[in-house]
Structure 1
Amino acid sequence: MPVKFIKTVNKSTFLDPANNFAPKTVNTEVRYDPLTGQISRIFPFRKLILHRHDWTPFVEESKQKFCPFCPAVVEKVTPKFPADIAPEGRIRVGDALAIPNLNPYEKHAAVVIMSSRHYIPMEEVDVRLMVDSFRAGLEYLQRSTGADPDGARYASVNWNYMPYAGGSLIHPHLQVLAGARPCTYDRHLINASVEYFKSYNSNYWTDLIDAEIKHGERYLGKTGRVHWLSTFAPRHVGDITGIIPGKQTVDDLNDSDLTDLAGGFKKIIDYYSRCNIVSFNAALYFARREDTGFTVHARIVGRFTIFPLVGSDITHMQILHDDPWTVILPETIAGELRALF
C-alpha cells in the first residue's frame, strides 16, 4: 500500500522564564500530505482553551439591518438565473433557495440561502437543512454544466459559517462555484490523484481509507457510504475529511449520499460546538469524469479567534482552496499609492 504518513519532529530549546530560565525542549511537527506533499505545521500550543462565544449581540444587531436573504424581501431584491440555467428564476429545494451571486468568485457562482431563518445556532444545524441546501447547490452545478460544458468544468460547494469563518452575513448560506479550471488547491488534489492512479493503478482515496483503518489513530468511522478521517496533515484546527468512494463528478451524488454526508457533518459540528469552536469552513470537491483516480470528498475545519474580535479575513477560498482574494483592485491601490513615491 503506497500511502505514506511522513512527518518530521523538530526539537526547539529555550530558557524557560516559568522555571527560572532553565533549559526546556519543545517538540513541533512538520507533516506532509500523503497525496500532495504539502506541508502542515503542528505547534506545541495544543491545550488551547476556547471560551464560549455569545453571538447574541451580533445576531440582534444584524436583525436591525437589511438582510437580502430574509423571507420578507428575498423575492424582490435577489437576482434570478437566466433561462438556460433556471427557467423558474431561482432553484428551490425544501426551504433552501439557490440564487445567482451578485459578487461572483467564478464564471458560474451561486449562493444557496440555506433556510428562511435569519440565524441558526450550531447546535440547531440539522441533517435536513444540509441535505436540501447541498441538493440545491448540486442542482445549480448540474444545470450550469449542461448549459456551459466548457465554462463549468470544475466545481465546488463551500460553506462559511459565521464571521470567524469569513461569513459576510449571519443568514446561513453556501457559496457554489464552477469554472473552466479548478481552484489552486483543487488542482493539486486532482492532478496528484491522477498521477497516483497512473503510478499505482489504484485509487488514492480508497487506499487512504484502508491505510487509516489499518493505522487506527485517525479513522473516525462511517455515516452510510461516507468514511470520515481526522486529517493527517491538517489545514486548520479540527480538520476532518469525508470520502465518498466511487463518486467523482457533480452528477454522481444522490440524495442518499447527501444524507450520509450531512450526518457526518452534523456530528462534527456538534463536536465543534462542545469545544467552543464557534465557526467553520467546509467544502465539497468534485472533478471531471476524465480525471481518473479522483474521488468526491468533503473537508471541514474549525475556525476561531483567540482575541475578542468578531470577524475574519480568511474564508474557504484561502483555507480550503489556496486561492487568496481581495476586495480592492491592485490597479486602484497603485493609483492611490503612486503619489506617495
Structure 2
Amino acid sequence: MFTSFRTEHTEGFIEYRVEDLTGLRTRICPERLKRGIGGVYIPTYKDEDCPFCPGLIEEVTPVFPDGKRIHIGESITFPNLYPFAAYHVVTSITHEHSVPTFTHKQIADALSGQVTALKKQSEYVSINWNYLPSAGASLPHPHLQGLCDHQPDTLPSRYLLAGEQYHKTHGRGYFEDVRKDAERSGRDLPGTILFWYAHPVPIGEREIRCLLPLTTVAEFSDVLEDFAADLISLLGFYRDLGTSAFNMAIFFGQNKDRNTFSAFCSLISRINPNPLSTSDTAFMERLHLEPVILTLPEELASTWREYAQNMPNVPTIIN
C-alpha cells in the first residue's frame, strides 16, 4: 500500500512515506511534538452578530429555489452566500454559538440536512467540516459545508483514476486491499461501528479515515446514524489527545464508479486556537504540497486501542 524509508539524525528519525496508488507523499517527524506547538483550547468567540445564530439565521441566510431552508432538529441548511463550488450548501449544526462537544442527534441531524440538500446532485459531492478558526472556519459557529462540482477534486480524483487501473490490473477494488492491509498491520480502530483506520500516509496530523460501504451521497443515509456515533467517539479521542480543532471531508463518487471507488471520510486534528499556538500549516504543506506529520499512524492506532478499552457503550463492530 505504501513505500517508506527512514533517515536517522541525532534526535531521532524522519520517516518518508509514499502512497503507492496515488503517489501522495508525507514525512513523519515524531520528535517535533516536543516543541509544544499546541495549547489548551481557549474559547473566546462571542455570538454577537453571528449570521448562524437564532434570530439572524432566518433573516440573513439565502433560501433554496422553493423559498425554504431545510430544518432537521437544531440544524438549518441553506445555499452558501459566497460559493466556491458549482453547488455549495451550508448547514448550521446547533443553536448554540460555541459548542465544545456535540450530541449524536446534533451530528446526525446536520448530516441529514446535508444529504437532503445534496442527494439529487448527479456529479461529485463532498461533505466538509472546519471546526474552529485554527482549522479554517470563517465563523466559529459550528457548520458543515456540502460541495458538488462537475469534476472530482484533487484528492478523490487520484483515487478515482488510479482505482480504475488498479481494478483492471488486480481484478478487485483498491479499497478492499486497503482494509485488509489496515487490519493486518494493526492500523484499524476496533470498537467503531464502521471501518476506521489510521491512514499510513497521512495528509494531516493524526489522520483517521473511514471506508464507507457505499459510493454515492444518496446511500449515505443508510449508515448516517452509525457514522455519527463513531464520529462522536473519535472527536472525544482527539480531545483526550489535547486538540479540539479538526477538519473533516467525506468524498463520494457516482454510480459509474461503484466497482472501483469507495466513498471515504478523512479526519485530521488541528492546533487549537489561542495566542500561544503555532499553526500546523506552513510552507511544506501549502507550497511543497507535502505535509510534515508529528504522529506515526501505527502509534495513533495503538493509542486508540487503549482509549477504546475505557470508552463507555462501545458499539458492536459490523463486519
Both structures adopt the same fold (TM-score exceeding 0.5): yes
Rounded to whole Å, the distance in 2 between the matches of 1:233 and 1:289 is 28
Relative to structure 2, which stretch is displaced further, 288-297 or 304-313?
A: 304-313
Give deviations 1:183-213, integer Å, cap 9, x for gaps.
Answer: 1112112112222112111111122111111
CA RMSD in angstroms, aligned pairs only: 2.3
Higher CA-based Rg: 1
Give deviations 1:132-176, integer Å, cap 9, x for gaps.
Answer: 111111111113x1xxx4xxx101000000011001111110111
User: Structure 1's 95 and 288: CA in aligned 2 closer, same or farther, altered over 3 A?
Assistant: same
Shift of 1:88: 5.2
Rounded to whole Å, the distance in 2 between the matches of 1:306 and 1:72 is 27
Per the alignment, in what secondary structure is the counterpart of residue 177 of structure 1?
A: strand
Shift of 1:313: 10
Identify unmatched segments of 5+ residues in structure 2. Answer: 290-319
8 Å CA contact retained: 1:165, 1:312:
no
Correspondent of 1:290 among 248, 256, 265: 256
Rounded to whole Å, the distance in 1 between the matches of 2:197 and 2:98 is 29
Residue matched to 1:208: 178
Shift of 1:47: 3.7
Shift of 1:294: 0.4
Moved over 6 A (4+): 310-314
Correspondent of 1:274 among 233, 237, 240: 240
Shift of 1:26: 3.2
Amino acid at match of 2:14: T
8 Å CA contact retained: 2:86, 2:148:
yes
* Sequence identity percentage: 30
Amino acid at match of 2:63: K
Residue matched to 1:110: 89
Residue matched to 1:9: 6
Give deviations 1:228-249, integer Å, cap 9, x for gaps.
Answer: 101101111111001122x001
Correspondent of 1:263 among 215, 229, 243: 229
Shift of 1:91: 1.3
Per the alignment, in what secondary structure is the counterpart of residue 53 of structure 1?
A: coil
What pairs up with 1:49-68 in 2 under 5 angstroms? 49=36, 50-55=38-43, 58-59=44-45, 62-63=46-47, 65-68=48-51
Residue matched to 1:303: 270
Q: Under a length normalisation based on structure 1, what TM-score does the superposition of the two structures give?
A: 0.77
User: Structure 1's 267 and 35: CA in aligned 2 closer, same or farther, altered over 3 A?
Assistant: farther
Aligned length in residues? 281
Per the alignment, in what secondary structure is the counterpart of residue 9 of structure 1?
A: strand
Rounded to whole Å, the distance in 2 between the matches of 1:192 and 1:307 is 40
Rounded to whole Å, the distance in 2 between the matches of 1:210 and 1:303 is 28
8 Å CA contact retained: 2:271, 2:277:
no
Rounded to whole Å, the distance in 2 between the matches of 1:233 and 1:297 is 15
Structure number with greater CO (CA < 8 Å, separation at least 6) is: 2
Give deviations 1:5-37, integer Å, cap 9, x for gaps.
Answer: 32111224xxxxxxxxxxx36311111124312
Shift of 1:264: 1.7
Rounded to whole Å, the distance in 2 between the matches of 1:98 and 1:279 is 22
User: Structure 1's 311 and 237: CA in aligned 2 closer, same or farther, altered over 3 A?
Assistant: closer
User: Structure 1's 253 and 305: CA in aligned 2 closer, same or farther, altered over 3 A?
Assistant: closer
